């Protein structure tokens, strides 16, 4: 960090920060501008700050700044190193700010309206155990920011707009952290580039929306998502949407063409109440699968009487290999797709419909039990029905 004047040597500003009541008596609610200062080496503990504008300031130290609250404050061209706690924060704005390493800049539960614009948050170590974090224990919006090897916090909501990331992790609340009253975050990402791994695995989330975004590897495995997941006009590599549970999953107008362990896209459809996959291209590589089933054999006592998945529709899409084996669904429909091969073996499906698809290789329905089915005409050599109770139309 460049050498700046320590805040203790900017006497008036220091006194105002150190004694907020005195400042209010002198200035009322006027904004206090502090420029070119180094805020370090001094403890600001359990104070309530408000109506501040820091310009080109450096903040560093370990828990030397641990406020009770911070309101209506802007940080412009500022740098942070260490651990800073704003207390309960409301209406914060970071403009062209920077932090890195293991630095953590955060607030308390009950915070709201934290906006970060044109900022750089760059870690120095690829090991996630050594990453820093920034954001809010309320809601945080990142606009045109660049992040690498860093955690992005948002206990109620995380928004990314026109951002670029490389190997980052979402930092959310959890039952283990806050008990039964924990927050579950809504995540919204638009017009961004997510390089490396964008990690939301095992998070407790309210909803997920991703639009008009490039990604290398999006990981939602093991997440608990209370409401819906919408992924629209996304292109790139590998998408693991194998959450433990979610509401409706919609994947629309996407190109997911990458390779990871022979999969481009994975989701346990039986973890979602509804699934809609439409106008998507998963490529034509016959060694690359789209995994839609349980992905493992189910024991007899694991089959449920009423599957969580009420309806799954895949239409107008291109899939090289569709693997929906060991699937539980009340209604599965494949319509007007171009598919290399289909595996719906060992599944339990209330109503199975396959119509209008172009399928170049086999359709494996071995061991599958259905209550009702409607299957398009297929070449005899394509179809495998051993152990199934399906009758052809």
- DSSP-assigned beta bridge partners for residue 274: 248, 311
The pLDDT of residue 41 is above 90: yes
- Name the token pair of 327: 């699937």
The 10s digit of each residue's pLDDT in 176-226 is 888 888 899 999 999 999 999 999 999 999 999 999 999 999 999 999 999
pLDDT of residue 2: 56
Helix (H, G, I), strand (E, B) or coil at 290: strand
The pLDDT of residue 1 is above 60: no
- Mean predicted confidence (pLDDT) in 249-274: 87
Distance CA 284, CA 194 (A): 24
The 10s digit of each residue's pLDDT in 144-161 is 999 999 999 999 999 999
Looking at the chain, the whole-number percentage of residues with pLDDT higher than 70 is: 98
Instruction: Provide Rg for the chain, Cα atoms.
Output: 26
The 10s digit of each residue's pLDDT in 52-78 is 999 999 999 999 999 999 999 999 999
- Mean predicted confidence (pLDDT) in 334-344: 97
The pLDDT of residue 6 is above 70: yes
Per-residue confidence band for 261, with pLDDT thresholds at 50, 70 and 90: low
Cβ-proximal residues to 126 (8 Å cutoff; 6+ apart), any chain: 149, 167
- DSSP-assigned beta bridge partners for residue 92: 73, 114
pLDDT of residue 108: 96
- Name the token pair of 72: 């209506």
Query: Given CA atoms 266, 374, 370, 345 in this order, what sign does their dihedral have?
Result: negative
Cβ-proximal residues to 124 (8 Å cutoff; 6+ apart), any chain: 100, 101, 130, 149
Contact criterion met (CB below 8 Å) for 49 and 70? yes
pLDDT of residue 177: 83
Contact criterion met (CB below 8 Å) for 345 and 324? no
Quick one: residue 157, left, alpha or beta (phi over 0 = left, psi -120 to 50 = alpha)? Answer: beta
The pLDDT of residue 139 is above 70: yes
């Amino acid at each position: 960090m460049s050498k700046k004047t320590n805040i203790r040597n900017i006497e008036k500003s220091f006194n105002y920060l150190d004694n907020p009541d005195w400042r209010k008596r002198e200035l009322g609610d006027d904004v206090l501008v502090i420029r070119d200062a180094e805020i370090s080496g001094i403890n600001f503990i359990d104070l309530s700050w408000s109506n501040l504008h820091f310009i080109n300031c450096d903040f560093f130290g370990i828990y030397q700044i641990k406020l009770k609250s911070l309101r209506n404050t802007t940080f412009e061209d500022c740098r942070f190193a260490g651990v800073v706690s704003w207390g309960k924060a409301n209406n914060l704005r970071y403009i062209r700010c920077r932090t890195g390493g293991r630095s953590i800049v955060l607030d308390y539960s009950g915070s709201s309206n934290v906006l970060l614009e044109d900022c750089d948050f760059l870690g120095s170590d690829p090991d996630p155990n050594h990453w820093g974090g920034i954001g809010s224990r309320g809601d945080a919006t990142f606009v045109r920011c660049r992040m690498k090897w860093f955690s992005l916090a948002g206990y109620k909501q995380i928004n990314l707009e026109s951002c670029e990331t490389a190997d980052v992790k979402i930092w959310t609340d959890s039952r283990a952290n806050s008990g039964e009253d924990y927050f579950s975050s809504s995540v919204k990402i638009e017009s961004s580039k997510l390089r490396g791994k964008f990690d939301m695995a095992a998070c407790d989330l309210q909803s997920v929306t991703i639009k008009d975004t490039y990604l290398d590897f999006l990981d939602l495995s093991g997440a608990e998502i209370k409401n819906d997941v919408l992924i629209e006009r996304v292109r790139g590599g590998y998408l693991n949407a194998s959450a433990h549970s979610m509401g409706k999953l919609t994947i629309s107008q996407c190109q997911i063409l990458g390779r990871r362990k022979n999969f481009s896209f994975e989701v346990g459809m039986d973890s979602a109440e509804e699934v809609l996959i439409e106008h998507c291209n998963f490529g034509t590589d016959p060694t690359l699968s789209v995994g839609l089933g349980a992905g493992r054999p189910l024991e007899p006592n694991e089959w449920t009487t009423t599957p969580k998945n009420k309806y799954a529709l895949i239409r107008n899409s291109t899939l090289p290999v569709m693997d929906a084996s060991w699937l539980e669904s009340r209604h599965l429909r494949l319509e007007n797709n171009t598919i290399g091969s289909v595996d719906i073996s060992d599944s339990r499906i209330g109503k199975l419909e396959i119509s209008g698809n172009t399928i170049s290789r086999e359709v494996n329905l071995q061991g599958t039990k259905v209550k009702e089915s409607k299957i398009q005409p297929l070449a005899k050599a394509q179809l495998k029905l051993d152990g199934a109770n399906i009758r052809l139309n």
